[in-house]
């Protein structure tokens, strides 16, 4: 892969996930400092997942219809920046709901478009998706650790200015993304619904959604859960970072893992480890070392699972359907799954407590394990060779 192209894509992923690494671990704590209840926080945080259900599909359709990616990435990044500026004046549930809804509407669409752009470039080069994506993980780590120290020393309000600066940088970087050349593909004549309704695609989307449901609880409430058990912001940031360090390790190893194991095997092992991880978080919150062990499993519950899922999705959705395929994957897995986890997790945390909430979260990857085991039937052949479009 061309070095300059690799650098530009990796840099964009680094800054995008730098924002995520600042937002996900600490935004719930900011909302808590504004006196929102756990149920309110669950609703507000889930706006990002709710918007993923429909917003990326609109932008994905625009990208595939126009044959362009970069103009829409620039536009969604700019509108996301405008939405975030309004957070400074948002107080009370109604105004925060309105502002976060506007922010999430555009921010949730930037990544699927960037994923589509990256995969389109990789289709004509020798690069590996995991080698680029690991720079996003690096950005997450740096932000999570830096913000932990910053908030402990300067207070939670420093988070707003930090996130604003990152949003500005992200928007500026969209101008460095090159437009890919989209080659014609044999599946271009197929309707998108001919692809979506295939049993393999349905099983994958349902299984991914169940995995992300558990992570919706994690992303929205892990920091609050740990804070309520006496952990400092610095320790919370380091625990987040441990998980993503392991994620980077698995991304670096993915080309070798993919060459040795089938995609279905990778998905199944990841789901088994997710059951163990969420169970540990629920029952061992007072043991720092067991929490560290649980965080190392993020390498599988997100890293290998996400990389394998992207690989499967790319096999089914390509050519002129590539951006729409990424949008559908994000909508169902992260939109529906994240919304269920975020909203249900908020009410569970408020009425059942954190330990029971995370133990219950382990049930979702267990269900996903059954769906993938019995519903997903993959071989080393490409979809056209399997005859799934007949």
Q: What is the reported pLDDT for 192?
A: 63
CA distance 330 to 342: 16
Q: What is the reported pLDDT for 316?
A: 78
- Given a contact cutoff of 8 angstroms between Cβ atoms, the answer to whether 38 and 349 are in contact is yes
Phi and psi torsions of 35, nearest 5°: 75, 25
CA distance 97 to 193: 33
Cβ neighbors of 193 (< 8 A, separation 6 or more) are none
Arithmetic mean of pLDDT, 200-228: 92
Indicate whether 384 pLDDT > 50.
no
pLDDT in tens, 242-269: 998 998 899 888 888 988 999 999 999 9
What the block records as the tokens of 20 is: 């995520």
Of the ranges 34-43, 129-138, 182-191, which is most confident? 34-43
Q: What is the reported pLDDT for 167?
A: 92
Arithmetic mean of pLDDT, 101-106: 84
pLDDT in tens, 369-380: 999 999 998 764
pLDDT band at 24 (very low <50, low <70, confident <90, very high): confident
- Given a contact cutoff of 8 angstroms between Cβ atoms, the answer to whether 113 and 59 are in contact is yes
**What is the pTM (predicted TM-score) of this model?**
0.75
Q: What is the reported pLDDT for 222?
A: 94
Arithmetic mean of pLDDT, 179-196: 61
Q: What structural domains and CATH numbers belong to the chain?
A: 3-386 (1.20.1250.20)
Q: What is the reported pLDDT for 143?
A: 92
The whole-angstrom distance between residue 224's C-alpha and the CA centroid of its chain comes to 19
pLDDT band at 127 (very low <50, low <70, confident <90, very high): low
Over pLDDT 90: what percentage of the chain?
Answer: 38
Least confident residue range of 26-35, 36-45, 301-310, 376-385:
376-385
Work out the angle at residue 165's Cα, subtended by the Cα atoms of residues 60 and 159, and round it to the nearest 5 degrees.
105
Q: What is the reported pLDDT for 173?
A: 92
Averaged pLDDT of the chain: 85
pLDDT band at 332 (very low <50, low <70, confident <90, very high): confident
Of the ranges 99-108, 173-182, 293-302, 377-386, which is most confident? 293-302
pLDDT band at 62 (very low <50, low <70, confident <90, very high): confident
What the block records as the tokens of 199 is: 């049993």
Q: What is the reported pLDDT for 277?
A: 97
R_g over Cα of the chain: 20
How would you write 122-178 as a 3-class SS string? HCCCCCCHHHHHHHHHHHHHHHHHHHHHHHHHHCCCHHHHHHHHHHHHHHHHHHHCC
Arithmetic mean of pLDDT, 140-155: 88
CA distance 189 to 194: 10
Indicate whether 389 pLDDT > 50.
no
The whole-angstrom distance between residue 298's C-alpha and the CA centroid of its chain comes to 12
Q: Could you give the 3-state DSSP secondary structure of residue 378?
A: coil
Q: What is the reported pLDDT for 381?
A: 39
Indicate whether 386 pLDDT > 60.
no
Closest CA to 88 of 151, 25, 15, 162: 162
Q: Could you give the 3-state DSSP secondary structure of residue 377?
A: coil
Q: Could you give the 3-state DSSP secondary structure of residue 269?
A: helix
CA distance 353 to 40: 15
CA distance 296 to 291: 9
């Amino acid at each position: 892969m061309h070095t300059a192209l690799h650098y530009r894509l990796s840099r964009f992923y680094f800054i995008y996930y730098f924002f995520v690494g600042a937002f996900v671990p600490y935004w719930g704590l900011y909302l808590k400092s504004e006196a929102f209840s756990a149920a309110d926080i669950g609703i507000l945080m889930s706006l990002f997942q709710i918007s993923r259900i429909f917003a990326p599909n609109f932008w994905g359709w625009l990208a595939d219809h126009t044959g362009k990616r970069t103009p829409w990435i620039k536009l969604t990044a700019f509108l996301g920046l405008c939405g975030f500026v309004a957070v400074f004046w948002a107080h009370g549930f109604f105004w925060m709901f309105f502002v976060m809804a506007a922010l999430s509407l555009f921010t949730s669409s930037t990544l699927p478009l960037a994923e589509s752009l990256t995969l389109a470039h990789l289709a004509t080069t020798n690069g590996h998706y995991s080698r680029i994506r690991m720079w996003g993980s690096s950005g997450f780590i740096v932000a999570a650790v830096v913000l932990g120290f910053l908030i402990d020393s300067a207070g939670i309000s420093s988070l707003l200015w930090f996130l604003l600066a990152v949003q500005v940088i992200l928007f500026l970087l969209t101008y460095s993304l090159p437009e890919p050349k989209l080659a014609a593909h044999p599946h271009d004549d197929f309707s998108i619904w001919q692809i979506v309704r295939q049993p393999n695609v349905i099983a994958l989307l349902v299984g991914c959604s169940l995995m992300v449901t558990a992570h919706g609880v994690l992303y929205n409430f892990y920091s609050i859960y740990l804070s309520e058990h006496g952990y400092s912001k610095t320790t919370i940031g380091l625990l987040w970072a441990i998980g993503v360090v392991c994620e980077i390790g698995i991304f670096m190893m993915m080309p070798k893992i993919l060459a040795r194991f089938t995609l279905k095997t990778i998905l199944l092992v990841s789901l088994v480890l997710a059951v163990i991880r969420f169970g540990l978080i629920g029952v061992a919150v007072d043991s720092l070392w067991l929490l560290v062990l649980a965080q190392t499993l993020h390498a599988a519950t997100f890293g290998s699972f996400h990389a394998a899922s992207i690989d499967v999705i790319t096999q089914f959705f390509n050519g002129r359907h590539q951006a729409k395929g990424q949008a559908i994957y994000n909508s169902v897995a992260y939109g529906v799954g994240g919304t269920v986890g975020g909203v249900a997790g908020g009410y569970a945390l408020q009425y059942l407590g954190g330990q029971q909430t995370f133990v219950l979260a382990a049930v979702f990857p267990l269900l996903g394990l059954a769906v993938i085991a019995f519903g997903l039937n993959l071989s080393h052949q490409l979809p056209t060779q399997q005859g799934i479009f007949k």
